């Protein structure tokens, strides 16, 4: 791969570094070599070992403790010459060391001292030097207080004493007086050595070995693959806009955090978002089971049964089970899983990249480096991923959301990229070079093939912009039906953008206007692009000039009014409103006449009822006075005359009130029927 012919000097230097170091050829490794690695953006890596073995083979695969669960979940073995023999995996369980130590005749689990070891081997024969040689069998350990303790006077210190059965009898020996001892039983001595070996091998080790047992005959090819946690691979890009055709390059950053070197491996980098999880398969699990009484005695319980009947649909169990049993017998006697298909395919003929081969991997996308990679353990590397020209256009992007907050702002210096690489590019930072120097930094999200994306890497201080808002309301429709008037208004939010360019260069300007919820663009106004949250309007920005652009968003607002609650003044206010259609205004004028007739009838009735109320009160007053002066006096006779006159007037008022009530009902019914019968509409 040679990117230096097409890339700027800074990029060519990095390509030279990659070719001279990471792709260097290392000496071949022993055992079953690591041939393929695929690093996924989900935090796991696929590792594949392949090679030849002779006859029965054992392949030891060391794993970090945190990787064992994933290895047990995903490990696949392909043995071309195993025949009917089944490969298997042997490994120490999480509790192997402790359980193995406890199973030996001499238990060194829990870091015991000499006293604890001897106490656990009661009856064992041993040979002691004190300094004379004593041969006997362990009876036990007891603790006695130290009588002479000048250094720690007053402290109660216990020391262990060993009781030994010898041919001369039982001897008591302080452990501090014994210079050495050994067991005469070879089995105990062998277990002691084995226990020490187990402890020594596990000391400070975070590694667990999985041993693949591969029975077979002859020389044959073997493939072992697995998935374990791995650092997420990262990507960074460079974009040079100063070239006649913009140059784009991507670098992959990978980490070998293992304790093994990568020697000439085929490295693939996969981007996507697969489901990935850890399940604890390494630790042994034990289930609690119920304890049931022994069924060796007792009596049977008496039972009675209901009578039954046969059904034509009944089927013997053996007949029902036969098809399933036949299917099971025809299945393959053993499972042999195929390794994931992660080999690279040929690059697309028209792809402008030559650092890696790109191909779809299911719903993901894989980059396979053309040259084998060698990377020492606990080292990281930056590897060329893609390189070549890309379609790019320099533009200015004005943030409408920022302009709406008020004040003057500067649009962002940006570039509109089209992914012509033929690959799905993962998210990452982009370092932009322009005019032969550093231009700025940018970020890009996941970038599918043939899609356009904007990136911004600075502010253009030679261009200033600001925005202002105006709001208008206009009646768009009025309907009257079932005594309800509905007025639909069109509310317009008018954003006026003003842009001033004081530079000598004309630019292409993109205004990103936020979408206001519940609104639509004014009819006839078009945008060049739209996202879920904003419109993009593209336009030329003249050199040393100004640009004004208006974005109008509209939303309807409906108002429902119950006409029966209207007063005459309410009707008159709408009859003078020119936004209300003529048919509605004329109907309201007729409603005013009917409403005024109702109010006049109500006024007449109210006046008559008030007169009757006054007369009734006056009658009560005169009646009380008459009772006070009597009917035989002159004054009493005057009260009687007045009572008679008021009775005649009350009779007349009652008749007039009945007539007024009837008139009010008729006029009210006429008004209500008119309002209910109105059916008017306008658009």
| Cα end-to-end span (Å), the chain | 69
User: For residues 120 and 118, what is the distance between their CA atoms, to the nearest angstrom?
Assistant: 5
Beta partners for residue 392, in sequence order:
417
Q: Torsion angle, CA of 654/660/662/666, rounded to 10 degrees?
A: 180
Which pair of structure tokens corresponds to residue 644? 């008679």
Nearest to 256 by CA among 383, 384, 385, 379: 379
Q: What is the pLDDT of residue 9?
A: 47
Q: Where is 484: in which H helix or E strand?
A: strand 484-501
Q: What is the pLDDT of residue 331?
A: 35
Region of 58 on the Ramachandran plot (φ > 0 left; ψ -120 to 50 alpha; else beta): beta
Q: What is the pLDDT of residue 280?
A: 81
pLDDT digits (tens, 9 = 90+) for 573-588: 989 888 889 999 999 9
Choose between 507 and 303: higher pLDDT: 507
Q: What is the pLDDT of residue 254?
A: 93
Choose between 152 and 60: higher pLDDT: 60
- Residue 230 in contact with residue 45, Cβ under 8 Å? yes
Q: Where is 634: in which H helix or E strand?
A: helix 634-677
- Rounded alpha-carbon distances, angstroms, from residue 469 to 402, 403, 553: 14, 11, 11
What value does the mean pLDDT take over residues 463-472? 95
For helices 634-677 and 582-629, what crossing angle results, to 10°? 160
- Residue 242 in contact with residue 433, Cβ under 8 Å? yes
Please tell me the least confidently modeled range out of 18-27, 389-398, 450-459, 648-657: 18-27
Longest dimension (CA), the chain: 163
Is 10 a residue whose pLDDT tops 50? no
User: For residues 395 and 458, what is the distance between their CA atoms, to the nearest angstrom?
Assistant: 12
What value does the mean pLDDT take over residues 221-231? 92
Cβ-based burial of 238 (10 A; exposed 0-12, middle 13-18, buried ≥19): buried
- Side-chain half-sphere CA neighbours of 449 within 13 A: 13
Q: What is the pLDDT of residue 5?
A: 45
Q: Where is 416: in which H helix or E strand?
A: strand 412-418
pLDDT digits (tens, 9 = 90+) for 561-570: 999 889 999 9
What value does the mean pLDDT take over residues 531-545? 93
Please tell me the least confidently modeled range out of 148-157, 187-196, 520-529, 625-634: 148-157
pLDDT digits (tens, 9 = 90+) for 124-175: 888 888 888 888 898 888 888 886 654 555 567 888 998 888 888 888 888 8
Which pair of structure tokens corresponds to residue 237? 């890009």
Which pair of structure tokens corresponds to residue 246? 């913009």
Per-residue pLDDT band at 94 (split at 50, 70, 90): low
User: For residues 460 and 362, what is the distance between their CA atoms, to the nearest angstrom?
Assistant: 43
Please tell me the least confidently modeled range out of 501-505, 509-513, 534-538, 616-620: 616-620
CA angle 235, 239, 240 (to 5 degrees): 155
Give 621's contacts (C-beta < 8 A, 6+ positions apart): none
pTM of this prediction?
Answer: 0.62
Alpha carbon 548 to its chain's center? 42
Rg (CA), the chain: 50
User: For residues 229 and 46, what is the distance between their CA atoms, to the nearest angstrom?
Assistant: 9
Per-residue pLDDT band at 114 (split at 50, 70, 90): confident
């Amino acid at each position: 791969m040679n990117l230096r012919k097409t890339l700027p000097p800074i990029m060519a230097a990095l390509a030279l570094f990659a070719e001279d170091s990471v792709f260097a050829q290392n000496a071949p490794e022993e055992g079953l070599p690591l041939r393929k690695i695929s690093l996924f953006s989900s935090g796991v890596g696929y590792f594949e070992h392949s090679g030849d073995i002779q006859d029965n083979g054992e392949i030891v695969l060391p794993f970090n403790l945190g990787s064992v669960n994933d290895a047990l979940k995903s490990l696949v073995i392909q043995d071309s010459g195993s025949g009917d023999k089944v490969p298997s995996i042997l490994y120490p369980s999480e509790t192997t060391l402790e359980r193995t130590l406890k199973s030996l005749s001499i238990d060194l689990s829990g870091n015991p001292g000499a006293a604890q070891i001897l106490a656990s081997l009661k009856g064992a024969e041993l040979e002691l030097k004190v300094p004379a040689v004593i041969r006997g069998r362990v009876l036990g350990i007891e603790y006695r207080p130290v009588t002479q303790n000048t250094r720690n006077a007053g402290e109660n210190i216990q020391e262990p004493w060993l009781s030994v059965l010898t041919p001369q009898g039982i001897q008591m020996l302080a452990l501090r007086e014994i210079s050495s001892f050994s067991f005469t039983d070879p089995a105990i001595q062998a277990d002691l050595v084995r226990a020490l070996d187990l402890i020594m091998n596990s000391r400070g080790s975070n590694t667990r070995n999985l041993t693949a047992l591969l029975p077979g005959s002859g020389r044959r090819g073997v493939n072992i693959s697995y998935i374990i946690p791995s650092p997420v691979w990262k990507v960074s890009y460079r974009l040079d806009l100063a070239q006649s055709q913009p140059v784009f390059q991507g670098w992959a950053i990978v980490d070998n955090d293992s304790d093994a070197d990568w020697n000439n491996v085929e490295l693939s980098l996969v981007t996507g978002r697969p489901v990935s999880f850890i399940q604890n398969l390494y630790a042994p699990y034990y289930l609690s089971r119920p304890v049931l009484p022994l069924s060796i005695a007792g009596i049977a319980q008496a039972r009675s049964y209901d009578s039954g009947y046969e059904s034509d649909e009944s089927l013997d169990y053996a007949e029902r089970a036969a098809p399933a049993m036949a299917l099971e017998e025809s299945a393959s006697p053993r499972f042999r899983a195929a390794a994931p298909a992660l080999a690279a395919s040929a690059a697309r003929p028209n792809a402008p990249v030559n650092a890696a081969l790109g191909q779809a991997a299911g719903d993901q996308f894989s980059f396979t480096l053309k040259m084998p990679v060698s990377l020492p353990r606990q080292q990281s590397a930056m590897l060329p991923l893609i390189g070549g020209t890309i379609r790019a256009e320099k533009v200015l992007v004005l943030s409408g959301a920022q302009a709406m907050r008020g004040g003057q702002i500067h649009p962002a210096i940006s570039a509109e990229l089209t992914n012509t690489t033929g690959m799905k590019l993962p998210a990452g930072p982009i370092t932009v070079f322009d005019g032969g120097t550093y231009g700025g930094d940018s970020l890009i999200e996941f970038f599918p093939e043939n899609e356009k994306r904007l990136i911004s890497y600075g502010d253009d201080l030679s261009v200033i912009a600001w925005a202002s808002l105006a709001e208008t309301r206009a009646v768009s429709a009025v309907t009257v039906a079932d005594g309800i008037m509905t007025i639909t208004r069109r509310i317009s939010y008018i954003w006026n953008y003003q842009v001033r360019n004081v530079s000598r260069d004309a630019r292409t300007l993109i205004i990103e206007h936020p979408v206001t919820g519940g609104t639509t663009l004014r009819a006839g106004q078009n945008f060049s692009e739209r996202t879920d949250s904003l419109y993009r309007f593209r336009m030329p920005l003249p050199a040393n000039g100004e640009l004004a652009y208006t974005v109008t968003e509209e939303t309807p607002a409906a108002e429902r009014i119950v006409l029966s609650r209207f007063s005459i003044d309410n009707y008159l206010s709408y009859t003078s409103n020119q936004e209300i259609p003529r048919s509605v205004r004329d109907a309201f004028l007729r409603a005013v006449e009917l409403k005024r007739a109702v109010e006049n009838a109500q006024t007449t009735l109210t006046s008559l009822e008030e007169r009757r109320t006054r007369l009734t009160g006056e009658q009560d007053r005169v009646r009380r006075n008459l009772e006070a002066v009597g009917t035989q006096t002159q004054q009493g006779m005057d009260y009687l005359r007045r009572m008679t006159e008021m009775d005649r007037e009350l009779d007349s008022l009652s008749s007039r009130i009945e007539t007024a009530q009837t008139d009010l009902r008729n006029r009210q019914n006429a008004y209500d029927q008119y309002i209910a019968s109105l059916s008017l509409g306008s658009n």
